[in-house]
């Protein structure tokens, strides 16, 4: 019973191969027999044409486009004027704002998914070594001067928190790699650490192996993997994100492909008439599914754009200062019994950093790690299919 469908499938593949080979020939080189075959299989010719169009469109969407210097400056000036006139600004951030901290994005030319699609392996280093970028610090400054009211981030790297952005003004929709929680306590208890708590966690497996000092239940990470639905109140702060979006009259998207964020309808006010929605400004090198709805699309690297923006606004460019990093005051130390519960490098306080020898720092920088929210996030995609 299965022989006939298999035979038809095999014939179809042969036909596609033959027609594809003929289409690659210059028209002048095609024989009478070639032209007759193409005429006979017009449906296959059309299908191959549609496939080629889809491939070309996908390739164009993946290309990085850069505005020239003059155009970039003019666009940033336009965005600065809009920010000054807006009453309630919300910023949505993606992996593109952290690439300057040596954290790879996902869909850029050297992004995680892009490399995996090309069959290349991706190595992960300890992301806790990263520090807030110029963009993170500019966002902190814009909030400090009350030009930005809320930040919604897809990133798990904790760099917004470390920039000094207040917790109430931040929604980390996909979690924070420095935070573990006890959801057995009511309300849930939060424990901020100086290391990546996700070493042993993965999709649908969130236990960190450490215990709550109050109820002795196992702590869990806060990461929301692809295919999961986040339920924690903090650090996700969905309530804050939805309320901010509802009040927004301007949304600025920085370094995000928006392919995930577009699915969160509460962030876009799409239930309103078009003229009642927030003005949308996008800074990204590649195409996004919201480009046609944007008031302005800026093709530039986030740090370059934000640096120009601060100049236009006359605010100066803030610099990250480790001695003012709030994570050191927020972090809860491990109990003596849990000191060896992880192998991840801890963020070094400024005083301890000065005491570290150059050899120790060099050795630390050379160490690569596996697993954790970043490593586990793409490890599944690297597995080879079993051969039948």
Query: pLDDT digit string (tens) for 291-333?
Result: 999 999 999 999 999 999 999 999 989 999 999 999 999 999 9
pLDDT for 151-172, tens place per residue? Answer: 999 999 999 999 999 999 999 9
- Least confident span in 16-20, 70-74, 99-103, 278-282: 99-103
Considering the domain 69-174+236-319, what is its CATH architecture? 3-Layer(aba) Sandwich (3.40)
Bridge-based pairing state of the strands 124-125 and 170-172: unpaired
Here the tokens at position 73 are: 């400056």
Name the residue with higher pLDDT: 64 or 2: 64
pLDDT > 90 fraction of the chain, expressed in percent and rounded: 57
* Residue ranges at the known binding site for Zn(2+): 182, 185, 212, 215
Task: Kindly state the average pLDDT of the residues 53-57.
Answer: 76
3-state secondary structure of 6: helix
Is 382's pLDDT higher than 50?
Answer: no
Strand runs labelled E in 59-198: 89-93, 124-125, 150-153, 170-172, 179-182, 189-192
Mean pLDDT taken over the chain = 84
Calpha distance 280→278 (Å, rounded): 6
Q: How far apart are CA 39 and CA 23, in angstroms?
A: 12
Residue 102 phi, psi (nearest 5)? 65, 25
Point out the catalytic residue in the list 160, 174, 225, 299: 174
Read off the pTM.
0.79
Residue 127 has a pLDDT of: 73
Average pLDDT score over residue span 35-60: 81
Closest CA to 96 of 309, 294, 272, 305: 305
**Best CA proximity match to 328, nearest among 170, 200, 164, 197:** 164
pLDDT at 258 over 80: yes
Which band of pLDDT confidence, cut at 50, 70 and 90, is reported for residue 379?
Answer: very low
- Supply the pLDDT for residue 111: 45
Is 174 annotated as catalytic? Answer: yes
Q: What angle do CA 240, 241, 242 make, to 5 degrees?
A: 95
Tokens of 267: 């962030």
Q: Is the pLDDT score of 13 beyond 90?
A: no
Domain ranges of the chain: 69-174+236-319, 176-233+325-350
């Amino acid at each position: 019973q299965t022989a006939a469908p298999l035979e038809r499938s095999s014939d179809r593949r042969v036909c596609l191969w033959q027609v594809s080979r003929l289409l690659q020939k210059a028209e002048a080189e095609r024989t009478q027999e070639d032209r007759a075959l193409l005429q006979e299989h017009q449906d296959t010719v059309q299908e191959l044409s549609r496939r080629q169009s889809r491939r070309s469109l996908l390739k164009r969407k993946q290309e990085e486009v850069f505005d020239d210097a003059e155009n970039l400056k003019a666009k940033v000036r336009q965005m600065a004027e809009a920010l000054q006139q807006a009453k309630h600004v919300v910023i949505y951030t993606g992996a593109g704002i952290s690439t300057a901290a040596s954290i790879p994005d996902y869909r850029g030319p050297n992004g995680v998914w892009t490399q995996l699609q090309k069959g290349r392996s991706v190595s992960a280093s300890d992301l806790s070594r990263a520090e807030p970028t110029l963009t993170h610090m500019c966002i902190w400054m814009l909030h400090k001067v009350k030009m930005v009211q809320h930040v919604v981030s897809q990133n798990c790297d904790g760099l917004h928190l470390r920039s000094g952005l207040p917790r109430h003004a931040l929604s980390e929709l996909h979690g924070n790699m420095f935070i573990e929680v006890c959801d057995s306590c009511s309300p849930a208890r939060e424990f901020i650490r100086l290391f990546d708590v996700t070493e042993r966690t993965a999709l649908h497996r969130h236990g960190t192996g450490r215990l709550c000092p109050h109820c002795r239940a196992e702590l869990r990470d806060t990461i929301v993997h692809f295919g999961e639905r986040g339920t924690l109140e903090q650090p996700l702060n969905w309530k804050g994100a939805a309320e901010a979006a509802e009040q927004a009259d301007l949304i600025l998207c920085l370094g995000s492909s928006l392919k995930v964020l577009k699915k969160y309808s509460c962030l876009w006010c799409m239930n309103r008439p078009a003229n009642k929605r927030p003005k949308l400004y996008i800074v990204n090198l590649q195409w996004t599914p919201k480009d046609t709805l944007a008031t302005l699309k800026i093709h530039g690297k986030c740090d370059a754009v934000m640096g120009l923006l601060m100049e236009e606004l006359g605010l100066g460019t803030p610099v990250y200062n480790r001695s003012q990093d709030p994570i050191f005051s927020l972090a809860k130390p491990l109990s003596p019994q849990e000191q060896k519960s992880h192998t991840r490098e801890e963020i070094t306080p400024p005083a301890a950093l000065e005491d570290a020898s150059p050899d120790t720092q060099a050795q630390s920088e050379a160490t690569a790690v596996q697993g954790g929210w970043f490593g586990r996030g793409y490890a599944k995609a690297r597995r080879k299919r079993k051969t039948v």
